[in-house]
Amino acid sequence: MSTRPERVYSDKGVVLRTYKLGESDRIVVLLTEANGKVRAVAKGVRKTKSRFGSRLEPLSHVSVLLYRGRELDVVNQVEPLEPAGPLRNNLDKMTQGIAMLEAVDQLTLDREPVPHVYAMLVGALRELARSGSSLVVAAFYWKLLASEGLAPELFMCVSCGSELEEQQTHYSFDIEQGGVQCRTCRSGRACSAEALYLLRLILGGRLGEALALDESPAGHEVGHLATQAVESHIERRLRAVGMFERHD
């Protein structure tokens, strides 16, 4: 029996980014549900009469039929699964969504199925389209890191292992060591008690509660810490983050 994969296959995916190829084609990078990150050529999509050019823009959630190639696949058909207008028509939401796409692109490998990351990304984009909460990106980053086995320590000092004093108003968070520090060991950046509470909600299965809270300085703390943690892990700056932070 042949063990070669089928040449033509269908999947669902989120368009992470695109770039030009030749005069009329475009390479599309998708995070798919079953096949992981896929790079495919969309032929002729830059022509004005293209049947599906607008369906293959970043933030699009689509159903695709692909032909498997040696290096790049080829897009045969594409159908939208849900409208991307709520994200694309709002500058803040669009730039926040792109920031999530960039992190996923950096943290995933080609052809390595990560259905949990796909599901997280689809859910986060839906929530961003619905609520527009600035905490959505931060929460997504923390959950993405946790899925990689990089959840921060939030209840004990990451340096000495002692339990944190709950009555403190400020703590310290060390990105390199991966968590919160006690008063004696503090060497990282300041972290308020409110920010620590938000982090515990996000990573403790109470994300809905966190997103329902009013915007606050603690939310911005959590966001900046999340960005630093992702950038530390991938060892490079996230370009898109600066875009949406300028609109905060």
pLDDT at position 170, please? Answer: 85
Q: Residue 66, Cβ neighbours under 10 Å: how many?
A: 24
Q: Residue 155, Cβ neighbours under 10 Å: how many?
A: 12
pLDDT at position 91, please? Answer: 92
Averaged pLDDT for residues 26-39: 97
CB-neighbour burial class of residue 239 (10 A; exposed 0-12, middle 13-18, buried 19+):
exposed
Averaged pLDDT for residues 96-113: 96
Query: Is residue 3 scored above 50 in pLDDT?
Result: no
pLDDT at position 50, please? Answer: 63
Q: Minimal CA–CA distance to 229: which of 168, 139, 155?
A: 139
What does the DSSP 8-state code read for residue 6? P
Structural domains of the chain, with CATH: 8-82 (2.40.50.140), 86-245 (1.20.1440.120)
Query: Is residue 12 scored above 60 in pLDDT?
Result: yes
Query: Is residue 184 scored above 80 in pLDDT?
Result: yes
More confident residue, 200 or 49: 200
- Are the beta carbons of 131 and 44 closer than 8 angstroms? no
pTM of the predicted protein model: 0.92
pLDDT at position 1, please? Answer: 44
- pLDDT tens profile 147-174: 999 999 999 999 999 999 887 888 999 9
pLDDT at position 205, please? Answer: 96
- pLDDT tens profile 108-131: 999 999 999 999 999 999 999 999
pLDDT at position 177, please? Answer: 95
Averaged pLDDT for residues 14-29: 92
Side chain identity at residue 30, one-letter code: L
pLDDT at position 241, please? Answer: 76
Least confident of 25-29, 67-71, 125-129, 234-238: 67-71
Burial 11-50 (b: 16+ CB within 10 A, else e): bbbbbbebeebeeebbbbbbbbbebbbbbbbbbbbbeeeb
Query: Is residue 247 scored above 50 in pLDDT?
Result: no
pLDDT at position 2, please? Answer: 46
Kindly state the percentage of the chain with pLDDT values over 90: 79
